[in-house]
Amino acid sequence: MRIVIAGGHGQIALRLSRLLSARGGYEVAGIIRNPAQGDDLRAAGAEPVLCDLESASVEEVAAHLQGAGAAVFAAGAGPGSGAGRKDTVDRAAAVLFAEAAERAGVRRHIVVSSMGADPAHEGEDIFDAYLRAKGEADAYVRGREGLDWTILKPGRLTDEPGTGQVRLEASTGRGDIPRDDVAAVLAELVDSSATAGLTLELIGGTTPVAVAVKDVAGN
């Protein structure tokens, strides 16, 4: 099964690539715009795919998605970026990636969003712009009939070692979550099509990752 990850050099994406490639049965590709990042992806078991989601066409991105079994949007403008790039990456690139997945016939679509993402979020700070951008992208994805989407909204991300224990629900309240555990949940969601149509919040908890995903999927 081929998995294509947008934002392939991101901290969560690299963790996800390592998990999937270690499991076997997966061919992982990570979309990056900086060729210097290619070795990091290869070390994580992923094929680097050079494509700038801020300037590429839907057709170009769709070509990279051909034959994939799932697409994961894990890209972000990142710390230090202004409101303009929150719009071009966190909103527009997410929209482009969803359109391209639909064009390529890749139904399984997972979005790494953010707790608090809301197109109607108010405020003038950069983080407010970020939450609006993510919210607008999420709303767009939810409207795509050609996608079996799941939107994952982690709480405050940390670099603490993962525990493998999470709380995954439609609404969890605020909390922290290690990036390791976010990647572990994403790895389970890739194959959990029964979670299609769900928007889920994720924080640290007491339920093993695989059990938490099965619970929300109704299995």
CA distance 113 to 153: 5
Q: Tokens in use for 59?
A: 């057709």
Q: Are 203 and 35 in contact (CB under 8 A)?
A: no
Q: What is the pLDDT of residues 5-60, one digit of tens each?
A: 999 999 999 999 999 999 989 999 999 999 999 999 999 999 999 999 999 999 99
Q: What is the pLDDT of residues 54-80, one digit of tens each?
A: 999 999 999 999 999 999 999 998 877
Pick the closest to residue 106 from 69, 53, 143, 140 (CA basis). Answer: 69
Please give the backbone phi and psi of residue 54, each rounded to the nearest 5 degrees, phi first.
-85, -15
CA distance 135 to 122: 12
Catalytic residue among 85, 130, 136, 137: 130
By percentage, how much of the chain surpasses pLDDT 70?
A: 100
Burial level of 193, CB count in 10 A (0-12/13-18/19+)? middle
pLDDT score for 78 = 80
- Catalytic annotation on 130? yes
Burial level of 171, CB count in 10 A (0-12/13-18/19+)? exposed
pLDDT score for 18 = 98
